[in-house]
Amino acid sequence: MAAGHVRATDAASKAVDAKSLDRNKLTQASFRQESITISPPQFIKIRQLFSAVGVPCQPKDELAKAPLLIAKLRELASKAGGMAPAPELPKLTAIEALEAQSGNAQLLELFNRYDELTAIAKQWVKTADDIKKRHPVWSELINLLEHAKELGPYAELKADADAVRDNRTLLADPDPVRPLLDRASDVLRLALNAKLQGFQNTFAHQQAQLSGDSDWAKLSAAQSGQLTAAHHLEPVKVPDLATPAQLQDALDDCNLQHWISKTQALSSKFESARHAAVTLLKPNVVHVPLPKRTLNNEAELKVWLNEVEQLLAEKLKIGPVAL
75 pLDDT more than 70: yes
Q: 19-33, 66-80, 93-107: lowest mean pLDDT where?
A: 19-33
- 3-state secondary structure labels for all residues of the chain: CCCCCEEEECCCCCEECCCCCCHHHHHHCEEEECCCCCCHHHHHHHHHHHHHHCCCCCCCCHHHHHHHHHHHHHHHHHCCCCCCCCCCCCCCHHHHHHHCCCHHHHHHHHHHCHHHHHHHHHHHHHHHHHHHHHHHHHHHHHHHHCCCCCCCCHHHHHHHHHHHHHCCCCCCCCCCHHHHHHHHHHHHHHHHHHHHHHHHHHHHHHHHHHHCCHHHHCCCHHHHHHHHHHCCCCCCCCCCCCCHHHHHHHHHHCCHHHHHHHHHHHHHHHHHHHHHHHHHHCCCCEECCCCCCCCCCHHHHHHHHHHHHHHHHHHHCCCCEEC
Distance between CA atoms of 170 and 7, rounded to whole angstroms? Answer: 46
| Beta-carbon contacts of residue 59 (< 8 Å; ≥ 6 apart) | 43, 47
Q: 2-11, 22-31, 34-43, 310-319: lowest mean pLDDT where?
A: 2-11
1 pLDDT more than 50: no
Q: What is the pLDDT of residue 31?
A: 58
End-to-end CA distance of the chain: 103
Distance between CA atoms of 15 and 262, rounded to whole angstroms? Answer: 71
Distance between CA atoms of 5 and 28, rounded to whole angstroms? Answer: 20
Q: What is the pLDDT of residue 3?
A: 44
Q: What is the pTM of this model?
A: 0.76
What is the total residue count of the chain? 323
Distance between CA atoms of 33 and 70, rounded to whole angstroms? Answer: 24
Where do the domains of the chain lie? 6-133, 175-281, 284-323
Q: What is the pLDDT of residue 13?
A: 58
**How many Cβ atoms from other residues are within 10 Å of residue 99's Cβ?**
15
pLDDT in tens, 141-167: 999 999 999 999 999 999 999 999 999
pLDDT in tens, 171-189: 999 999 999 999 999 999 9
298 pLDDT more than 70: yes
The whole-chain average pLDDT of the chain stands at 89
Distance between CA atoms of 137 and 132, rounded to whole angstroms? Answer: 10
Backbone angles phi, psi at 150, to 5 degrees: -90, 0
CA distances from 23 to 16, 19, 20 (A): 12, 10, 9
Backbone angles phi, psi at 82, to 5 degrees: 155, -150
